[in-house]
Every structure is written in structure tokens, then in C-alpha cells.
Amino acid sequence: MKKEQFMKNRIVKAIAGAAGVSALLAMGMAHAGVTTVGKPEVIKLMKEDSGKVTGKNEVTYSGATPHTVVEQVLPGYPFPSFEVDKQTNPTLTYDAGVKKVTITVINTNGGAEHSFMITKKGPPFSAMPNPDSLHAMAVVPELSAAGGGQFQTDTVDWTPPGPGTYWYLCKTPGHASTGMYGKIVVK
């Protein structure tokens, strides 16, 4: 009986994943796909971030095609967070002339799945954030918890619609509502 339920759950997740990919393509977002990497690759990816820490908990990016690398971590019980350039849930600032932001997300948290989403709607976020009702502009699906020295990563491209304030968050139930989110400013 447990095996049948397990298989039903896997099928439902596969269908939901396919629907999510279709939705991403319909929204015009490029999506590279989930990959698994070891620690040396994680370190290499982290070095590809083109931002600079410019203020208290702020990372600033310049140029038309910056690369942002977001790590999903669990710094202490009970709440997970994002980390960019060793800043926790920082404000990410981009020039108004930005054409495309490449965002690489890495789940280094060994205790939970995480996802990543950009939206115009700010906090507070519900315990069960819905990408459709939040009008998601970019989405990285659930990345499995790290294990055995292996980490899941995914990359998504985001074209900001113009200057303004946007938000990034983890849509995994309960994460954004407990603080796993940050602000994006396009000047």
C-alpha cells in the first residue's frame, strides 16, 4: 500500500513539474533545468556572482547582463534563508538599463527543499505562496535538500519590466512567511 501511494505521489509531482515548465515557457522565461553538483562546482558557481556588497545587507549589480548567484541555506534553527555574497536575504540592486539578469540558485541546505520566485508583490507572504496569484516573473522549482556532498542547482533568466521594487522568495510552504525573502530594486 505504501509503495502505491509513493508511486501516485511521484506521478503527481511529475505532472506538476511538467505543468510548471509549460508555465515558464508560456511566460517567456529561459530555464536551464535542475542539475546536481559537488562542492567544488558550488564554489566555482559562487565566484560567478558579479555583484558587490555596497551597503548593510545590499548587493549591487551593474551592466546589462549581470549574474546573481543565490545560495539557499539554514543558518540556524528554525528558519532558512537566502544568501548572496555572504549577505542574508540581501536587497539586490540592479541598474535601470539591465537587459537580462541570470540567476543561479543553489540549495546547500541539507534539511529542506527550497525554490525561488520573483514577484512584484511584497510581504507579508502567506504560508502557501501561489506563483499564479503572485504573478511570478521568474521561478526555479523545488530543489531537493543537499545530501552526500551533492547540491541541486538551477538557473533562470529574468528581464525586469522596468525600474521599481520587486521581491524574491522561497515558495516552499512556510518559508517566505517566516522570512525567506528579500527585496530587489531596479534603479
The whole domain housing 178 covers 30-186
Give the confidence band of 78 by pLDDT, cuts at 50, 70, 90.
low
The chain-wide mean pLDDT, for the chain, equals 85
Tell me, yes or no, whether 9 lies in a domain: no
- Does residue 25 fall inside a structural domain? no
pLDDT at 13 over 60: no
User: Could you write out the three-class secondary structure of the chain?
Assistant: CHHHHHHHHHHHHHHHHHHHHHHHHHCCCCECCCEEEEHHHHHHHHHCCCCEEEECCEEEECCCCCEEEEEEEEEECCEEEEEECCEECCEEEECCCCCCEEEEEEECCCCCCEEEEEECCCCCCCCCCCCCCCCCCEEEEEECCCECCEEEEEEEEECCCCCEEEEEECCCCCCHHHCCEEEEEEC
Instruction: Residue 112: give its domain's CATH number.
Output: 2.60.40.420
20 domain residue, yes or no:
no
Give the global pTM: 0.82
| Residue of 138, 135, 173 lying closest to 158 (CA atoms) | 138
Domain count, the chain: 1
Which residues are registered as beta bridge partners of 61? 94
Q: Within a domain: residue 15?
A: no
Name the binding residues for Cu cation. Answer: 114, 170, 175, 180
Answer whether residue 119 is part of any domain: yes
**Around Cβ 108, how many Cβ atoms within 10 Å?**
19
Classify residue 172: in a domain, yes or no: yes
Residue 12 lies in a domain: no
Binding residue positions: 114, 170, 175, 180
Please indicate, yes or no, if residue 153 is contained in any of the structural domains.
yes
pLDDT bracket for residue 79 (50, 70, 90): confident
